[in-house]
C-alpha cells in the first residue's frame, strides 16, 4: 500500500504537467479545427475543404510527394553510406562520420540559406556555370529540387545514425555461415543481412517521412510558388487570420505523422516475430 502511494505521489505531478502542456493544447487544437469560421458551430468543413479545395489539396499532395521523395532518397543514400562505414575501417573514419552527421545540429533555416548560397539566382553554382559556359544554370534553390536537396541534407545524417548501429552490431557469423553454404556475397546480404536490419530501415524511413512532412524552417526559407502544408498553415494563421483552418491543417499533418509511425510499429512488431 505504501509503495502504491509512493508511486502516486511521484506520478501525479508528472501527469499534471503532461496534461497541461500536451493533452490540453492538443484538445484545444482539435476543437478549434472543428469550429466554423463564422458562427463557431462544430463542423467538418475545414477538413473537407483541405481535401477538396485545390488550393489546399495541392499543398497536401505536394507535401506527401516531397516527403516520400526525401524519405526514399535518404534511405538509399544513407543506407549505402551506413553499410560502407559499418563494414570498413580506414584512416579518418571518425572525422568522416562526424562530418556526415554534422548537419543534424544545424537549424532548418540555416540549411535553407546554405542552399540559397549554393544554388540561388546569384549563388555559387550559377555564377560558376556562367563563368564556365557563359550562361547561368543550376539556380534551383526556390524549386522543389532545392527543397528536396535541403531535406536530404538533414535527413541523411539521421538515417545514417539509425542504420549504422544496426549494421555494425549485426552478427557476422550468420553471414559467414550463409557464405559457407554457397551463397554469394550479394545473396548473403539480401537474404541474411537485410531482413535483420529491415525493421530499423523502416523505422528510419518513418522518422525521415515525419520530419519532412512537418519541416517548417527550411521550407519557409526556400518555398516560392511551391505550396506545402506547413507553409500553408503558417499563412492561414498569420496572413489570413483563419485559425480554424490553420488548426485543421496542423491536425492533418499530425495525423499523417501518427499514422506513419503506427505503421512503422506494426511492421517492426511483425519483423521481430
pLDDT band at 86 (very low <50, low <70, confident <90, very high): confident
Q: Residue 69: what pLDDT?
A: 95
Residue ranges per domain, the chain? 1-33, 47-272
* Higher-pLDDT residue of 37, 64: 64
In this prediction, residue 66 carries a pLDDT of 93
Three cell numbers written together for 210: 515525419
What pTM does this model have? 0.84
pLDDT at residue 209, as a whole number: 93
For residue 2, what pLDDT is reported?
Answer: 56
Render 88-117 in DSSP notation, one character per residue.
---TTHHHHHHHHHGGGGS-HHHHHHHHHH
List CB contacts of 115: < 8 A, sequence separation 6 or more: 141, 146, 149, 150, 153, 221, 222
The rounded Cα 33 to chain-centroid distance in angstroms is 24
Higher pLDDT among residues 32 and 266, named by residue: 32
pLDDT per residue as tens digits for the range 139-196:
788 888 889 999 999 899 989 988 888 888 877 778 778 778 777 878 887 888 888 8
Mean pLDDT along residues 53-66: 93
Asked whether residue 1 carries a pLDDT value surpassing 60, the answer given is: no
Annotation: CATH topology of 47-272:
MetI-like fold (1.10.3720)
Residue 9, pLDDT > 70, answer no
Residues contacting residue 150 through CB under 8 Å, at least 6 positions apart: 108, 111, 112, 114, 115, 218, 221, 222
Residue 74 banded pLDDT, cuts 50, 70, 90? very high
Mean pLDDT of the chain: 85
- Are 119 and 153 a contacting pair, CB within 8 Å? no
Q: What is the pLDDT of residue 168?
A: 82
- For residues 215 and 110, the answer to whether their CB atoms sit within 8 Å is no
Closest CA to 255 of 53, 16, 33: 33
Say which residue the cell 505521489 belongs to.
Answer: 9
Amino acid at each position: 500500500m505504501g509503495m502504491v502511494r509512493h508511486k502516486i505521489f511521484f506520478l501525479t505531478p508528472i501527469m499534471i504537467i503532461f496534461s497541461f502542456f500536451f493533452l490540453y493544447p492538443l484538445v484545444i487544437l482539435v476543437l478549434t479545427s472543428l469550429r466554423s469560421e463564422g458562427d463557431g458551430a462544430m463542423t467538418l468543413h475545414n477538413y473537407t475543404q483541405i481535401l477538396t479545395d485545390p488550393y489546399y489539396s495541392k499543398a497536401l499532395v505536394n507535401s506527401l510527394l516531397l516527403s516520400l521523395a526525401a524519405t526514399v532518397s535518404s534511405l538509399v543514400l544513407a543506407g549505402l553510406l551506413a553499410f560502407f562505414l559499418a563494414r570498413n575501417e580506414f584512416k579518418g573514419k571518425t572525422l568522416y562520420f562526424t562530418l556526415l552527421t554534422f548537419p543534424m545540429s544545424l537549424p532548418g533555416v540555416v540549411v535553407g540559406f546554405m542552399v540559397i548560397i549554393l544554388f540561388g539566382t546569384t549563388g555559387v553554382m550559377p555564377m560558376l556555370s556562367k563563368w564556365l559556359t557563359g550562361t547561368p544554370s543550376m539556380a534551383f534553390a526556390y524549386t522543389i529540387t532545392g527543397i528536396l536537396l535541403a531535406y536530404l541534407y538533414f535527413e541523411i545524417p539521421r538515417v545514417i545514425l539509425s542504420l549504422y548501429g544496426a549494421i555494425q552490431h549485426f552478427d557476422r557469423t550468420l553471414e559467414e555461415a550463409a557464405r559457407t553454404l554457397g551463397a554469394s556475397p550479394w545473396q548473403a546480404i539480401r537474404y541474411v543481412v537485410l531482413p535483420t536490419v529491415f525493421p530499423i530501415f523502416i523505422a528510419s524511413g518513418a522518422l525521415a517521412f515525419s520530419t519532412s512532412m512537418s519541416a517548417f524552417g527550411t521550407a519557409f526559407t526556400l518555398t516560392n510558388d511551391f505550396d506545402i502544408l506547413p507553409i500553408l498553415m503558417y499563412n492561414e494563421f498569420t496572413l489570413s487570420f483563419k485559425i480554424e483552418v490553420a488548426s485543421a491543417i496542423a491536425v492533418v499533418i499530425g495525423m499523417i505523422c501518427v499514422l506513419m509511425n503506427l505503421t512503422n510499429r506494426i511492421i517492426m512488431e511483425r519483423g521481430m516475430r
